[in-house]
Structure 1
Amino acid sequence: MKNEERRELTIGQLLKAAKELVLEKGCDAITMKDIMDQSGLTKGAIFHYVKSKDEIFAWVLQEKLEETNQHFLNEVRQKPATFEGPMQAIAQNLASMENSDDVTNKVLVYLLGKENNPAVAEVLQKFYEKALSLSLQWITAGQQHGVIPESVDPQKTSELFVLMSIGLRVRSTFSPPKADSYTAQDLSAFIAASLKA
């Protein structure tokens, strides 16, 4: 097996194990031994790629962004001159942001509580920058295909959407949406309206 294949396989096992453990135990209670036991990987195999569970949690955040981006790109490839398909891909991701059992939400809030740790602060910064970058790319792609008006400021609009999505993720962990709460569906409608302006 090639090094890159081995790396992808190992990371996949670590991610799967970490996500299962987050749902079972919560982020705080998980140890590297738990991850080792759950993944079936040796200590050496794990520590060859990461130094801490926080690094694995960073991969969980990254994986979610990449997954959402892949859904968006698939929709753009299928229907490049439409707004609805790519917007549906984003809306599906937004729905998970309200779910208190969503692993990404749990991991994000856990890491936000450790922002004083320089390594965690760097992970959070990279997550935020990647989310901004992808959002900016999505808006720019829509403008290039003529489905989002040029009058939309891609930079500010993408930042607004990322800030709102992080807010939904954080709220999901301490307060489920009530009947009159601002929901992911509301955010999706707001985004769609903002981008069609």
Structure 2
Amino acid sequence: MNKQEFLYQLEEGLIRLNESEKNQFILYYDELIEDYLEDGASEAEAVSKLGKPSRIASKILEEAFEERSFQKKKLSPLMVVLLIIGFPLWGSILLTAILLILSAYIIIWCLPFTTGMFAVLGLGASIFSVCASFFAIQDGVYIAVTQMGISIFVLGLALLSGLATLNLANHFIKASKRFSGKIFGLFEGRGLSL
């Protein structure tokens, strides 16, 4: 690989940087290659000493974005005053947004909660009814058999409801993760972190 190919590939790898930063790195590596050439190395040797341009570009990008993420934006005194004065407005809007998000989670989880409660209560009622059907024999065999049949039917519904709860919970966990990801994505896209 010659010098021009190396610099071209490096420039392609640094496409996410702005032009001034990109040109700064291109000039730096151009000078490095020139220094190797002055020391008596061939162009191919000089380029091979530097390494692969894609690897160099990825290191540069990694360092550049780490620096940007660590830079803290300081609030100006005017911004602080405006935030304090505007708190009644933006505070109530923020509280409303938080409550809307909370209500969305409550709505999402109402159905699995309802089916789960039906499963638990149905299981308890059917077990109680099976035990009580033995005492219903005193009133007549047909009453005891009817009560036993109803309790087994309720037990079946409770088991189906339990399976539905597990299935719904799996789907709703995924939905909650997606919803949370979208909510956090709104804040991360603006450089804010929660």
- So what's the TM-score if we normalise by structure 2? 0.23
Q: Which has the higher contact order (CA 8 A, sep 6+)?
A: 1
More helix by share: 2
- So what's the TM-score if we normalise by structure 1? 0.23
Bigger radius of gyration: 2
